[in-house]
Structures are given as C-alpha cells and as structure tokens.
Copies of this chain bind each other. A is one copy, B any other.
Amino acid sequence: MRLENRAPDALRPVRIQRQFTKYAAGSVLVTFGDTQVLCTATLEDRTPPWLAGKGSGWVTAEYAMLPGCSNERIGRNHYQKGRAMEISRLIGRSLRCAVDMAALGERQITVDCDVIQADGGTRTAAITGAFVALSDACAKLQADGAISRSPLLGECAAVSVGLVDGEALLDLCYEEDVRAEVDMNVVMRSDGNLIEVQGCAEGDAFPRKQLDAMLDLAEAGCGELFRLQREALAS
C-alpha cells in the first residue's frame, strides 16, 4: 500500500496558494504532499536579443533547490550543474507551449521555481505552479492595459508517473521515486494534447505496454490538476 492509503491513481493533496509574495507579478506556493515549490513570475519590457524587433515575446524559467529543502544540504552552486539546467529548460519549453507569443508582445516573463521542500516530483509541481504564476503575470499585463487579450492558450500542468514493483503509480513521493523502475514526467495542455513526455528507465528497460499504462494515469492526473489550477485562479 502507498502512504496514507493512497490509491495507485491518486494525486497527493495539492494546494495552489497565489500571491505568496507581493513584489513579483505572479507568486505561487504550490504543494504536492510534502513537496513545496515557490514560483514567482517577473515581467521585463525586453526580449532576448535574438528576438528583438520580431514582435514576439518570450517565456523562460529557472529551477533551483534551496540548500535546506531535503535531509542532506544541497550545495548552492549545484543549480548550475546539469540536472537543474535540464529542468529549467523543461519548464520553459512547457510554459511556452501554453502561450501565444505574438499576443504577449515584445516582453519577457521569467518564472523562477525554487524548491522549498523536496519530496519527489519537484519538476512537475514546479510546472503546475509556474503556469498559475504566469497566468497572474499575464492578468497583470491585461489589467495594466499593456495587452488587450490574454496570450494563454489553455492551462499547462505536469505530473510524474512511475513503475514501482511492476505497478504504475501516479505522482510519486521521494520514497517511491527511489524504488521506481521507471520514472516518467508528462506535461499536458488542457485541450488534452501532450506537451512533453519523458520516460526514463532506472536500471532496467521496460515494455511499451507499461508506457501506455503510465500515460493513462498521467492523463487523468493532469485533468485533475487543470481543475485545481482553474479553481485557484478563480478564487
């Protein structure tokens, strides 16, 4: 059995707390069980140099773990290493699939995702929370009259799935994650389309029908997350 009698297809308790800090254009503390990520969206009235003058905006992201987020302290310059950069790139790519860059106009939104507490699934929690911070930043642009309509194309959410003792499980906590034979992250848009699928054998290769079972779980999990995002944004 999973911790707290969780069903194989159940998310951990998810909370999306908006306006966690007051200076950033969007600031969301997202929690998936004991995983907590602070996502802050900052607006800048300029694009990266290679986009200048093209009438298009840009969305990017940076991911880092705070040193005290887990049992062992994580060195602070760790964030420059491969894993954190890889995750930063994943979050940025995912968010960009949910935004009409022309409608955003020549400005950049950077979403910083800082992991305050890590219990597995930090990157998928980060994407789910980052979308809400991004939404708040876009709403601020509209409220300020900088843009006339929302550049968002739908919600964007992500969830982890995995194979533990041969069984497909949704939203793995750390303890499950270290035991998983396969670790997979799925990013979706609320129209039901896929944005990113990253499945990775941990130790041993896996059959395709297991891939299918995990995708089924992830689709259902993302559906629930879209609902929670909309609920948070409506409140």
Contact = CB atoms under 8 A, between A and B. Distances in A.
A59 B206 CA distance: 20
Given A40-B67, A69-B21, A191 B208 contact: no
Interface stretch (A6-14, A84-92, A138-146): A84-92
Interface in A160-216: 184, 188-189, 191-201, 203-208, 211, 215
Interface residues of A, number: 65
A82 interface: yes
State how many copies of this chain the complex holds: 6
Interface string A64-102: 101111111100110111110110110001001100000
B77 A203 contact: no
Contact of A73 (B34, B44, B189): B44
A200 B208 contact: no
A106 interface: no
A225 B70 CA distance: 29
Interface of A: 21-24, 27, 34, 36, 38, 40-42, 44, 62, 64, 66-73, 76-77, 79-83, 85-86, 88-89, 93, 96-97, 110, 112, 114, 116-118, 184, 188-189, 191-201, 203-208, 211, 215, 219
